[in-house]
Amino acid sequence: MIKTLMGDGDIRYKILMLLQTLIIVLIALTVHEVAHGWTAKKLGDDTAEKQGRLSLNPLKHLDPFGFLSMLLFGFGWANPVPIRAGKFKHPKLGMAVSALAGPVANLLLAVFAWLIVEIIIKLVPMDVYLAYAGYTSATEEIAFAVNMLTVSTEFFATFHYLNLSLAVFNFIPVPPLDGSRVLYSFLPDKLYFGVMKYEQIISMVLIVLLVTDILDNPLVWIVEKVSEGIRFIIPII
């Protein structure tokens, strides 16, 4: 699940932003699910591989209702990769690690995207910056370079924030999110089955919180803080 964003401006800009967001979300969700399946395979569960789910083809992971919900309500979901705990040598640990792989993959994509943004900024000539800032008259070449700079940095910045949002959201330790599978691995069996009885209710409460935007502010705050950390570390590296 992930909140989608749309930019301000005229209708054409909004359509382009929406298309850009949908492309990024499809990539993010696909990598997320493949990471689950690939990690599960490495730990002994080849269910996802046998069902053809270790593919980077977004259509293999698309959930029609999740995609429609994303368009209508601003959040959606992919078709979860099947994982069978019984095939793991250590079922609880296997479930925790395979669940953790999804958000970690999105976190790595977010870091990679911002690294690209930093590289683009470092490689742009000074006259492009000056023209962009209005200090000099822009030739056609400079104007084209500025446009390419804007499009590229905007794409990868959006790629960064959406993947980071997906990672942060899935780290929440409530079902059906990945964070809950990690939490469950540390719970005694009695407490685990006690929580599982209320999994559907907890999931419904989560959906209500999403629809009513109650989770927006705390999630945005966390995403911004993690992003600040990434943006601080990358130039040092």
Active centre residues (catalytic): 33
Q: CB atoms < 10 A from the CB of 128, how many?
A: 20
Q: What would the two tokens of residue 145 be?
A: 């370079």
How far is it, in rounded angstroms, from Cα 182 to Cα 214?
24
Which residue intervals of the chain are DSSP H helices? 11-42, 47-50, 64-73, 91-123, 126-133, 140-170, 178-184, 189-196, 199-211, 216-236
Residue with tokens 């590229």: 152
Residue 142 Cα to chain centre, angstroms: 34
CB 123, CB 202: distance < 8 Å = no
Q: Are the C-beta atoms of residues 36 and 83 closer than 8 Å to each other?
A: yes
Residue 75 forms beta bridges with which residues? Answer: 3
Both tokens assigned to 193: 């089955």
Q: Kindly state the tokens that stand for 208.
A: 């209500």
Q: Rounded to whole angstroms, how far apart are CA atoms 188 and 106?
A: 29
**113, amino acid identity:** A
227 forms bridges with which residues in the sheet?
Answer: none
